[in-house]
Amino acid sequence: MVTPANEYQRHPHILGPIHWHDVSMELPLSHPLISGGTANSLVIKAYRGICRDRHPIWLMRQAGRSLPEYRAIREGIPMLESCLRPEIAAEITLQPVRRHHVDAAIFFSDIVIPLRLAGVDVDIVTGIGPVVAAPVRTRDSLNQLRKIGELDPHNLQPITDAVNLAVAELGSTPLIGFGGAPFTLASYLIEGGPSRDLPHTRHLMAHDPQLWHEILNWVAGVTSQFLRAQVLAGASALQLFDSWVGKLSLEEYVTFAAPHSREVMMQISDLPVPRVHFGTKSQPLLREMLNVGATVMGVDTDTPLDTANEILGGNIPLQGNINPELLCAPWEVLQAHITDVMQRGSVAPAHVVNLGHGVPPDTDPDVLTRMVAFVHGD
């Protein structure tokens, strides 16, 4: 496998280079990067900065409520149970690949699954989202959390099994592993559920930063174990989502969030797979988000790709950033927007087309199929 000479001249920060030619030293011989041909897939080559002649595409939340087959298989089955039943999780992961012919699958899971697997009482409540029964806001509640311990291989078996099943059918199409960044995941744990203003999170950062960092250390450990399990089971890349990071100022991010995302990246840095980092409303934070150890930067809708490329120094592969709100627009409008995104992305060393956030649940799946075909030039 050819590695560009400047592959890691552009990543002098934090983590050492990924030695693509040494993947067999860190991964099982059965891993698709070695045995299944995903190393030569368009997405993985773009993530490595060595694919400029074609635009690969996959979509955040491509496996979800926009698909009738997803709604059928999920009927009567709670969200977290769906994530933890390997046959269902694998099937949902595969559905958009079969329907839309996207260039990668994203593992079907939920941001709070690592908490659930670690023993936290958390569930998805219809109309609300993730709800934690006993929020962690005090030293005593952190001690209770620590008694749970960390994830072990037995707890992670549903994830390993689901990845195995999906990878077996995907062949040379790469599976991208998924995990929530410590700031966002810890905010759910502290708030007890979704929150517009994160009052408990902000109170803890301001009034007990030591406790804050200890909570996030625990979360970072759980997240890294969750991601590692996906890679060892067959994922060919990873994406770390920081959905709420845009609520932070640059100073807050550097002080309270970045060290823990960096810890996650450090704990998986021995795995020779691309590491994508994505956050919403993150333009002021992009450079620091890269510096936690990402090798690819996902860009949200608010930041034009050529602007992101300039902010990041012009030497990092980018992913994004079609506006999901335009998926319901007339095709001519959407087509012009996709063309603009692809043109702006072409200034980067490589570009994987994606959305600037997830697929809305009311999206017409035929529009997604048409969009993928257009990006492919079909």
| Residue numbers of the domain that contains 82 | 20-33+63-297
Whether 212 maps to a domain, the answer reads yes
pLDDT of res. 45 = 95
Q: Is the pLDDT confidence value at 96 over 70?
A: yes
How many Cα atoms within 13 Å fall on the side-chain side of residue 94?
17
pLDDT of res. 253 = 98
CA distances from 253 to 160, 171, 212, 248 (A): 32, 39, 13, 6
pLDDT tens digits, one per residue of 27-37: 889 999 998 78
pLDDT of res. 126 = 86
Whether 284 maps to a domain, the answer reads yes
Is the pTM higher than 0.85?
Answer: yes
Whether 53 maps to a domain, the answer reads no
pLDDT of res. 25 = 54
DSSP-H helix ranges across 171-235: 182-191, 199-207, 209-233
Whether 43 maps to a domain, the answer reads no
- The span from the CA of 352 to the CA of 43, in Å, is 7
Residue with tokens 């969009």: 371
| Catalytic pick among 116, 188, 242, 253 | 188
Residues 272 and 26: beta-carbon distance below 8 Å: yes
What CATH number does residue 81 fall under?
A: 3.20.20.210
| Catalytic pick among 110, 228, 253, 275 | 110
Is 228 known to be catalytic?
no
- The span from the CA of 103 to the CA of 81, in Å, is 27
Is 65 known to be catalytic?
yes
Q: Is the pLDDT confidence value at 81 over 70?
A: yes
Is 208 known to be catalytic?
no
pLDDT of res. 2 = 29
DSSP-H helix ranges across the chain: 23-26, 42-47, 68-74, 79-84, 86-100, 113-117, 139-148, 157-170, 182-191, 199-207, 209-233, 250-252, 258-267, 286-290, 305-311, 331-345, 365-376
pLDDT tens digits, one per residue of 124-138: 998 899 999 999 999
| Catalytic pick among 10, 61, 228, 262 | 61
pLDDT band of residue 23 (cuts 50, 70, 90) is low
Q: How many domains does the chain have?
A: 1
Whether 108 maps to a domain, the answer reads yes
| Catalytic pick among 8, 74, 123, 208 | 74
- The span from the CA of 340 to the CA of 376, in Å, is 15
Q: Is the pLDDT confidence value at 7 over 80?
A: no
Whether 194 maps to a domain, the answer reads yes
Nearest CA-CA partner of 289 in 325, 322, 264: 264
pLDDT of res. 13 = 40
pLDDT of res. 11 = 38
Is 8 known to be catalytic?
no
Classify strands 275-279 and 129-132 as parallel, antiparallel or unpaired.
unpaired
Q: Is the pLDDT confidence value at 5 over 50?
A: no
Whether 104 maps to a domain, the answer reads yes
Is 340 known to be catalytic?
no
Whether 230 maps to a domain, the answer reads yes
pLDDT tens digits, one per residue of 316-335: 999 999 999 999 999 999 99
